[in-house]
Structure 1
Amino acid sequence: MKIALVGKGGSGKTTLAALFARHLAAGGAPLLAIDADINQHLAAALGASEDEAVLLPALGDHLAGIKEYLRGSNPRISSAAAMVKTTPPGRGSRLLSITGANPIYDALVREVGGIRLAVTGPFATEDLGVACYHSKVGAVELLLNHIVDGPGEYAVVDMTAGADSFASGLFTRFDATFIVCEPTLRSVGVYRQYVGYARDFGVRVYVVGNKVDDESDVDFLRAHVGDDLLTWVGRSAYVKAAERGRPQPLSTLEIANRDALDAMREAVAVCPKDWATYTRQAVEFHLRNATAWANDKVGEDLAGQVDPEFVLGPQTLVR
């Protein structure tokens, strides 16, 4: 399953992404975590020191190599340079599993706190005024378009705050999206903005309350998000210790908060896997991007990259 965590900046989505990834891994699940936030904090939330986090290789810095590998022998893609963030796979493309060895993972995935992690990379000073962060996140979209996840396997992605992922088709690349909401009007405002777009495309959305102190906070969230409220996480001494540089074993997380992580895992477990829709939406947003900007940028009609007979899924993954 491909899982996104989104929410207002400061809502605690990165902390929850790290907790959820560790919870899944503790149960033995094959997992790949990806930090796609403009503020790169997932490595730290998983226990990396500041020096260790800075040294992690960035997907955004290796986009050309990622394209070259994923292109494979796909005859519909004229060159790696002609690939854009929405280019869908087709016959001849190289596909990725969650855990299988490949040059991309070898070069760009590192283990942090027991979790295999890839990071988009920070928005650097030299990018200011001349680059769009979505060009960096494009590496994540390409990877998700080419990953075939099997039963009981997970890709957990910490997304950029707010609704920035709607600038491309990235928001459709997930089987389940957890919107992390504090019991505040600003936080539920981001929920409304996100769900308003997502529902039009059949994106499966769950709300996870965070920083919940008492029943009045739960009542507030229920009043504003209704049945989308799946579970909630209370104030946590475990999280506070981790944020102060004193990480503890996951087994010491408060029982109620562990139950919330279980609820998230159980919700994902019953999500149906619809590879046909996943492929169709990838094609739809690729064609939109081609018309809007990519054809002009690349200098060719990128609609020709679409393989009409190809449907991503387990049958296409050669192990």
Structure 2
Amino acid sequence: MKIAISGKGGVGKTTFVAALAKVFKEAGKKVIAIDADPVSNLAVTLGFMKGSEIIPISQMKDLIKERTGASDEYGKFFKLNPTVSDLPEKLSLEHEGIKLMVLGAIKHGGSGCACPESAFLRTLLSHLIVQRDEVVLVDMEAGVEHLGRATVKAVDVLIVIVEPGSKSIQTAFQVKKLAEDIGLTSVYAVGNKVASEEHKAFIQNGLDGIPLLGFISYDEKILESDIKGIAAFAENNKLLEEICQIKNKLEEIVKEK
């Protein structure tokens, strides 16, 4: 199963990805989580020790130059499809049975290394989604810029995380439109930080046309986990139960496709 997760900044997207990785792993699945958000904090949310010190692959300049054949001079030729098949094993980290790769920011235009870097990271992401046999979860920024037209064919579901708020709802529709423009039509939403039936109703009414997979309750324990420096799902059975229900719905959707 290949799942991309998007949403406005601050809605709890990374917490969702971490908890979903946990419940898939507990269900006996092989899981690899991909941090493709420029603000990389999935490692910390998964409970990796010194997760904030992990160097994103986008900053591995020597590796990118080696694989793309790029020079330091702007405008020089480089490989659009560099070899990356060996990198998931070499560069992924593992914690409690969950693999992680931190891609970092994909730059656009400007500096001489931006184009080779972008080609390299997009090729790596495409390989992870298309070729790997794990459950692949991609934590993305609020958009689908990382996904090429070929890659989206392998994505089973795009999930947009929303919270009770008009800006979050608006972002969901923007992401849905961008996804449809490149042929990704299997778009769903998850309501997060829900503290009341009014919150549920607001999200349901606002997302008219985007099917909901479920809701995640507002929980101070998630904030406490960040303060303690532990995984977002640690000591939080309620979160894992709600995420497990969403996982079950995802599996039903993919079986029907």
TM-score range, shorter chain: 0.7 to 0.9
Instruction: Please tell me whether the aligned partners of residues 172 and 203 of structure 1 are also in contact (alpha carbons under 8 angstroms).
Output: no
Does structure 2 conserve the Cα–Cα contact (< 8 Å) formed by 1:43 and 1:117? yes
Q: Work out the CA distance in 1 between the residues paired with 2:131 and 2:256.
A: 14
The alignment's C-alpha RMSD in Å is: 3.4
Instruction: Give 1:28 deviation, angstroms.
Output: 1.7
1:83 equivalent to 2:80? Answer: yes
Q: Is the 8 A contact 1:11 1:182 kept in 2?
A: yes
Q: What letter matches 2:171 in structure 1? A: V
Distance 1:67 1:145 in 2: 20
Residue pairs, 1:7-86, within 5 angstroms: 7-49=7-49, 51-56=50-55, 58=57, 61=60, 62-63=63-64, 81-84=78-81
Aligned equivalent of 2:218: 235
Pairwise CA distance, 1:105? 2.7
Q: In the aligned structure 2, how far is the partner of 1:21 from the partner of 1:167?
A: 20
Identity of aligned residues (%): 25
CA spacing shift, 1:113–1:66, aligned 2, 3 Å: farther
1:59 CA displacement = 5.8
Instruction: Give the gaps of 5 or more residues in structure 2.
Output: 70-76
- Would you say the 8 A contact 2:143–2:178 is kept in 1? no
Q: Which amino acid aligns with 1:83?
A: L
Alignment: residue pair count: 242
Identify the match of residue 135 of structure 2 among 151, 154, 163: 154
Give the TM-score normalised by the residue count of structure 1: 0.64
Task: State whether residues 3 and 137 of structure 2, in contact with CA within 8 Å, keep that contact through their aligned partners in structure 1.
Answer: yes
In structure 2, the CA distance between the partners of 1:47 and 1:115, relative to structure 1 (3 Å rule), is same
Which residues of 2 match residues 266-281 of structure 1 at below 5 A? 266-272=248-254
- Alignment partner of 1:165 out of 129, 140, 145: 145
Following superposition, the deviation at residue 245 of structure 1 comes to 2.3
Q: What is the match of residue 2 of structure 1?
A: 2
Out of 243, 249, 264, which is 2:246 matched to? 264
Secondary structure in structure 1 of the residue aligned to 2:145: helix
Amino acid at match of 1:9: G
Distance 1:273 1:38, change over 3 A: farther
Shift of 1:224: 0.9
Higher helix residue share: 1
Q: Which amino acid aligns with 2:10?
A: G
1:240: Cα distance to partner?
1.6
Asked if structure 2 preserves the Cα contact closer than 8 Å seen for 1:34 and 1:156, the reply is yes
Amino acid at match of 2:38: I
Residue type of the alignment partner of 1:55: I
Instruction: State the secondary structure of the residue aligned to 1:82.
Output: coil
- Cα distance in 1, alignment partners of residues 156 and 103 from structure 2: 21
Query: 207, 219, 232: which is aligned to 2:201?
Result: 219
- Alpha-carbon offset, residue 66 of structure 1: 6.2
Counterpart position of 2:88: 105
1:21 positional shift: 0.6
Change over 3 Å in CA distance of 1:116–1:210 after alignment to 2: same
Secondary structure at the aligned position of 1:116 is classed as strand
For the pair shown, which has the larger CA radius of gyration, 1 or 2? 1
Q: Which one-letter code corresponds to 1:245 in the other structure?
A: K
Of the three residues 192, 195, 198, the one matched with 1:210 is: 192
Contiguous gaps of at least 5 residues in structure 1: 69-79, 86-92, 97-102, 276-319
In the TM superposition, residue 112 of structure 1 has moved relative to its aligned partner by 3.2
